[in-house]
């Protein structure tokens, strides 16, 4: 297989070979530009879409071999959204290992930090692969050349549009306006033309437009494939539409989109931990979009994030553990402090998968409880306080009725229903607390704090040096240098 090299954005979007910053591990299954230019086959089309998912994986070393400082050992969402917040510490016992993570935690990072650098590279590599797939799938003679059915072509194209939206969602929420690359770039001149940031509103418009395209192409069912349940579904598309509407404060659009998920088969599980347990994957009703990790495959597709858990990474903050209400079953399902196990990340309650760099634990990106709380937030913003409170109480009811991790039921009076209120701030406070308890260690906390406009206050109270400039992460300095100044850094003295 021809090796693909990663360089700063200028070169990586061109897909040309460079002698600098090359990948030290081959991206198995990725489609090269040479292959994209040749006549497509059914195999190459399928492969181009499947490889586009990989950048959402927690597999170790997708883009490099043990490049810790560059943020390329694994996806950095736990670092940038959880460690950066008041929920998570880098390690159970501070030891100076991986100081770039400490810099994220302490808000002393610069534009050379591995967190934003790694996220940028993961997302743009994903976009590069997706654009190749879309180029295949929009070829007018694809069915004749490959024998692919119209239904399968539409499904794969819908998946590709969704994946491009998801990668750009990650970029715009972390960096603001970014270069918008919508097709494989053929020359260096095209690369420089494209290496210019567009306003964030343009990125959001593209995200939403791609999701509209994706929605019209996906089968009207819970799973787009009964034999490959991990693939993007219509529910995943609708959920990301709702989340995009939420983040752009299109409040009136959110409830109706969330309401479309129920008829497709999504609902709250009876047990809170069913979403995360390896024993119930694809046998429950709440997870909307996940990355399907599997052990023992060739090429590997196991969840490598369980490996650093064995090295002592990703510990809950005392503040986070103390934020749970008394007897909340979600507390132990999230983290077992005496045994130093992050149960939600492991997918087990006994420490199973800890230290396993090829674990089968799926990575959850969107689930129904999260979507319901988006709806509650939108209802509160539009003055439907009773509707918002009813959803918050629905989440609390499921939590208090969940069998506790050690067996039995929570005592009477656990997580009582929130009372009626017509005070928007009060309901918002309940929502903020509920999201923290429900979604802890699911890479949502820092994004939530920022979009609510309370990140600086919460982080300051937590003893962190959060400044206004930290509302966005800095663009990687290597990308700015490679663009000859075309890329402009976020404000704030990075």
Domain 1-207: give its CATH code. Answer: 1.25.40
Q: Is the pLDDT of residue 368 over 70?
A: yes
Q: Is the pLDDT of residue 320 over 80?
A: yes
Report the 3 state secondary structure along the chain.
CCCCCCCCHHHHCCCCCCCCCCCCCCCCCCCCHHHHHCCCCHHHHHHHHHHHHHHHCCCCCCCCCCCCCCCCCCCCHHHHHHHCCCCEEEECCCCCCCHHHHHHHHCCCCCCCHHHHHHHHHHHHHHHHHHHHHHHHCCCCHHHHHCCCHHHHHHHHHHHHHHHHHHHHHHHHHHCCCCCCCCCCCCHHHHHHHCCCCCHHHHHHHHHHHHHHHHHHCCCCCCCCCCCCCCCCHHHHHHHHHHHHHHCCCHHHHHHHHHCCHHHCCCCCCCHHHHCCHHHCCCCCCEEEEECCECCCCCCECECCHHHHHCCEEEECHHHHHCCCCCCCHHHHHCECCCCECHHHHCCCCCCCCCCCCECCCEEEEEHHHHHHHHHHHHHHCCCHHHHHHHHHHHHHHHHHCCCCCCCCCCCCCCCCCCCCCCHHHHHHHHHHHHHHHHCCCCCHHHHHHHHCCHHHHHHHCCCCCCHHHHCCCCCHHHHHHCCCCCCCCCCCC
Mean local confidence (pLDDT), 108-115: 97
Mean local confidence (pLDDT), 135-146: 95
Q: Is the pLDDT of residue 261 over 70?
A: yes
Higher local confidence (pLDDT), 190 or 353 = 353
Predicted local confidence at residue 25, as pLDDT: 44
Q: Is the pLDDT of residue 123 over 50?
A: yes
Q: Is the pLDDT of residue 7 over 50?
A: no
Q: Please report which confidence band the pLDDT of residue 191 belongs to, taking 50, 70 and 90 as the band edges.
A: confident
Digit-coded pLDDT (tens) for 381-439 = 999 999 999 999 999 999 999 999 999 999 999 999 999 999 999 999 999 999 999 99
Q: Please report which confidence band the pLDDT of residue 223 belongs to, taking 50, 70 and 90 as the band edges.
A: very high
Higher local confidence (pLDDT), 460 or 27 = 460
Predicted local confidence at residue 323, as pLDDT: 98
Higher local confidence (pLDDT), 33 or 420 = 420
Predicted local confidence at residue 363, as pLDDT: 98
Q: Please report which confidence band the pLDDT of residue 17 belongs to, taking 50, 70 and 90 as the band edges.
A: very low
Digit-coded pLDDT (tens) for 48-104 = 999 999 999 999 999 999 999 999 999 999 999 999 999 999 999 999 999 999 999
Lowest mean pLDDT segment, chosen from 13-22, 134-143, 158-167? 13-22
Q: Is the pLDDT of residue 28 over 70?
A: no
Predicted local confidence at residue 79, as pLDDT: 98
d(CA 248, CA 132): 29
Q: What is the mean pLDDT of the chain?
A: 92
Q: Please report which confidence band the pLDDT of residue 154 belongs to, taking 50, 70 and 90 as the band edges.
A: very high
Q: Please report which confidence band the pLDDT of residue 186 belongs to, taking 50, 70 and 90 as the band edges.
A: confident
Predicted local confidence at residue 32, as pLDDT: 57
Lowest mean pLDDT segment, chosen from 27-31, 44-48, 65-69? 27-31
Q: Domain ranges in the chain?
A: 1-207
């Amino acid at each position: 297989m021809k090796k693909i090299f990663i360089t700063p954005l200028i070169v990586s979007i061109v897909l040309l070979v460079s002698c600098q910053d090359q990948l030290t591990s081959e991206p198995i299954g990725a489609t090269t530009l040479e292959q994209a230019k040749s006549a497509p086959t059914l195999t190459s089309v399928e492969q181009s879409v499947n490889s586009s998912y990989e950048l959402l994986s927690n597999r170790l070393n997708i883009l490099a071999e043990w490049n810790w400082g560059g943020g390329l050992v694994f996806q950095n969402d736990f670092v940038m959204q959880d460690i950066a917040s008041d929920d998570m510490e880098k390690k159970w016992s501070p030891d100076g290992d991986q100081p770039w993570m400490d810099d994220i935690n302490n808000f002393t990072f610069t534009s050379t930090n591995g967190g934003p650098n790694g996220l940028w590279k993961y997302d743009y590599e994903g976009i590069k692969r997706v654009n190749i797939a879309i180029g295949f799938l929009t070829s007018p003679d694809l069915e004749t050349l490959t024998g692919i059915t119209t239904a399968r072509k539409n499904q794969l194209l819908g998946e590709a549009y969704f994946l491009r939206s998801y990668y750009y969602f990650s970029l715009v929420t972390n960096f603001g306006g970014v270069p918008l690359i919508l097709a494989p770039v053929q020359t260096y001149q095209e690369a420089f033309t494209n290496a210019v940031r567009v306003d964030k509103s343009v990125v959001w418009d593209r995200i939403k437009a791609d999701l509209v395209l994706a929605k019209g192409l996906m089968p009207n069912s819970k799973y787009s494939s009964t034999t490959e349940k991990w693939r993007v579904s219509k529910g995943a598309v609708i959920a990301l539409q709702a989340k995009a509407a939420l983040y752009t404060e299109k409040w009136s659009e959110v409830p109706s989109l969330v309401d479309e998920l129920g008829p497709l088969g999504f609902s709250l599980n009876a047990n809170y931990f069913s979403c995360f347990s390896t024993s119930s994957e694809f046998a429950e009703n709440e997870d909307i979009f996940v990355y399907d990790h599997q052990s023992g495959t060739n090429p590997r597709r196991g969840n490598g994030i369980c490996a650093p858990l064995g090295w002592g990474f990703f510990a809950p903050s005392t503040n986070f553990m103390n934020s749970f209400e008394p007897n909340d079953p979600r507390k132990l399902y999230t983290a077992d402090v005496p045994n130093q196990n992050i149960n939600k990340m492991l997918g087990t309650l006994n420490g199973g998968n800890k230290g396993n760099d090829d674990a089968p634990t799926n990575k959850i990106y969107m689930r129904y409880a999260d979507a319901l709380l988006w709806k509650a937030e939108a209802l509160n913003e539009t003055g439907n306080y009773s509707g918002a409170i009813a959803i918050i109480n629905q989440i609390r009811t499921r939590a208090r009725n969940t069998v506790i991790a050690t067996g039995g039921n929570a005592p009477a009076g656990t997580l009582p229903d929130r009372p009626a209120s017509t005070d928007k701030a009060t309901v918002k406070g309940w929502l903020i607390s509920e999201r923290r308890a429900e979604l802890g260690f699911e890479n949502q906390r820092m994004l939530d704090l920022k979009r609510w406009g309370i990140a600086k206050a919460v982080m300051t109270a937590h003893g962190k040096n959060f400044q206004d400039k930290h509302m966005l992460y800095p663009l990687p300095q290597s990308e700015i240098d490679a663009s000859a100044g075309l890329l402009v850094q976020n404000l704030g003295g990075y």
